[in-house]
A = this chain, B = another copy of it.
């Protein structure tokens, strides 16, 4: 019996959308006010889901406390109260769009979760804009 278990977390970060190899004008045309060179920020809400068989011993797919601690260690400690462009190595050359952040989070979590289980990452940049990545 496969069940998807989901855990919600959040982090607050500054970011700016732009490419170093583009002119300011081109960045401005593509990214608009998200290209403010002094940055803006978000309260990111994150839902990480793990799909797998229920362990008949415990009744768990995965202990939620372990998933909570893993998200804290891999995501919150790296991203919370940070400037994504300047403080987070993954975004030195990669534009921190919601899509790219979700992929980075998925890649950071994948090695720590049973390879037989599937992972899904939902990232809310705002309550109205969000993305989903499943690998």
* A24 contacts across to B, CB distance below 8 A: none
Per the 8 Å Cβ criterion, residues 38-95 of A in contact with B are 38-43, 49, 54, 57-61, 63-65, 80-83, 86-87, 94-95
- Shortest distance in angstroms between A21's beta carbon and chain B's nearest beta carbon? 10
**In the A-B complex, the 10 residue pairs with the closest CB atoms:** A41-B41, A59-B97, A38-B83, A59-B95, A33-B81, A14-B14, A4-B132, A14-B41, A8-B128, A14-B39
Interface residues of A (CB under 8 A from B): 1-10, 12-15, 17, 19, 30-34, 36, 38-43, 49, 54, 57-61, 63-65, 80-83, 86-87, 94-100, 102-103, 126-133
